[in-house]
Structure 1
């Protein structure tokens, strides 16, 4: 039988667990009277390349060429700026103030032009000559079964990044990581029948040309570069006729990881809005405990 409790008041309970009465407060409470260590000026030895905040979760609106044409998702933000050797620190609160200003203005719509505006305004708010932002988010797109045409949602991991420097303008880049099916050419060649296949992950990092204005949706274009060169696509919904088509397509298009990065690189090379790129393919091998990887980089 549980013992009957003689329950003290909430105030007494707090004291029981260590709370104490507030002490004498003598420091200023008005902002104008508080010392500002961050803005103090001395020789602090080194300039800092990047200082700011990361792992900031925030809702965004993502426009897309593919259905759904507009989607709301949760992004992870990283925002930084440089500071000179004579500055103690940056004003951390101004990064989130900038983000909140966009939320209150109707939501953060993730377009390159908005990121250009955001980074330049952030530099002004920070009283710095530069600012950078990186936004990571899941991007969803519809995929139909090849025979049944039944629709489901796939997703890829996407990153969009912009840097602004006073007097030099903007640089921008993007990354997309998506899943594909690959079938082993060696297994197909040596086996009497069948061949092992696996899920592969294609990672594409691209640097945009200065002239790119999002006339083409970079997300859909990079996804096409990966999926069109794979053994087969990944599908969220497959009926038996779909599965037959997918497995036969994979058998007809065997790919090593080396093949994948070269074929995807060829597609990226042909994109007029891409200045430089890096492609990586990682296969979760179905007959090994290790993964197979390949990567290449190229600058036009």
Structure 2
């Protein structure tokens, strides 16, 4: 029978002694006030500080959010990366940073739903809390949606990256902008044309930045679904989390039947966005990770419908 090996035990100093050993020092006698009303408030000093600031606030705030969608799952939790800011005039030294997270926590306790109505209310209240004329919130998050294999019907989860920006100004009201990035399959028309058989394909990323009409209500129309459909329906083929052999056959044949240059993608997606009544202006970009080149292929188009009315 094997003998169990034993080792001599070190006699360690206690935890307080170990902390002292590694640099901790005993607290000094404290003389500064602990009552908030008696503490110095440097941020609220009023002088001429030379320049107005476009924006001051906090960024890279990770926080749970709730997202509604027409696609399954219709209600989902996600992780938002949030940025808050407001302008600051030259007579104010700084902003009250804690008020940004105080308001976020208040909304969290009510259930922080990321839709346009909630974010408009949030920015207006934030401006009032900060005693400023404006406020901005930017929320980035992954949005998940169910995707079934085209033949097998087997489900899995895909996702697109979403960004929503809501600006509030006491005189000009609200402006809402959003972005969506989704992955697609593209097959090279040139390769298909010149080759005896086959054609190279690649994974592409379609990115859209859109501005909305003033009266648009995202409770009536799921703009995320509309933008996703614009990207995927104009691709050579859609991406799927689960593909069995019959699915793979259908998807690869579909890609062969719908060859697309990167230039084709942005123009086709732009046409769909142009036809969306709730979109006022947009930018569409596409980047293909080329499968037979070391470089990526890129294209973009920007269009403002407002210019047509002038």
Common topology (TM > 0.5): yes
> Which residue of the partner structure matches residue 186 of structure 1?
190
- Structure 1 segment 177-256 matched on structure 2, within 5 A: 177-214=181-218, 215-256=220-261
Query: How many residue pairs were aligned?
Result: 299
User: How far is the alpha carbon of 1:98 from its aligned partner?
Assistant: 0.5
Structure 1 position 2, deviation (Å): 6.1
2:16 is matched with which residue? Answer: 11
1:230 aligns to what SS in structure 2?
coil
Which one of the candidate residues 74, 78, 82 is aligned to 2:79?
74
Q: Secondary structure at the match of 1:86?
A: coil
Q: Which runs of 4+ in 1 moved over 3 A?
A: 1-4
Provide the secondary structure at the position in 2 that maps to 1:297: strand
Q: Could you tell me which of 104, 123, 139 is aligned with 1:135? A: 139
Q: Say whether residues 1:33 and 2:38 are aligned partners.
A: yes
The alignment's TM-score, normalised by the length of structure 2, stands at 0.95
Question: How many angstroms apart in 2 are the aligned matches of 1:259 and 1:80?
Answer: 38
Structure 2 equivalent of residue 295 of structure 1: 300
Encode CA deviations 1:253-272: one digit per residue, 9 max, x unaligned: 00011000000000001111
Alpha-carbon distance in structure 1 between the residues aligned to 2:155 and 2:19 = 56
The 5 Å alignment of 1:33-182 reads 33-105=38-110, 107-182=111-186
Corresponding residue SS for 1:38: helix
Gapped regions of structure 2 (runs ≥ 5): 1-5, 306-310
CA distance in 2, matches of 1:248, 1:51: 52
**Correspondence for 2:308:** none
SS in structure 2 of the partner of residue 82 of structure 1: strand
- Quote the Cα distance in structure 1 between the aligned partners of 2:9 and 2:184: 63
RMSD: 1.0
TM-score normalised to structure 1 length: 0.98
Q: Distance in 1 between matches of 2:106 and 2:9?
A: 54
Structure 1 runs not aligned, ≥5 long = none
* Per-residue deviation, residues 151-193 of structure 1 (Å, max 9, x unmatched): 1110000011100000211000110000000000010010000
Post-superposition offset of 1:12: 1.0
Mean CA deviation greater in 6-15 or 55-64: 6-15
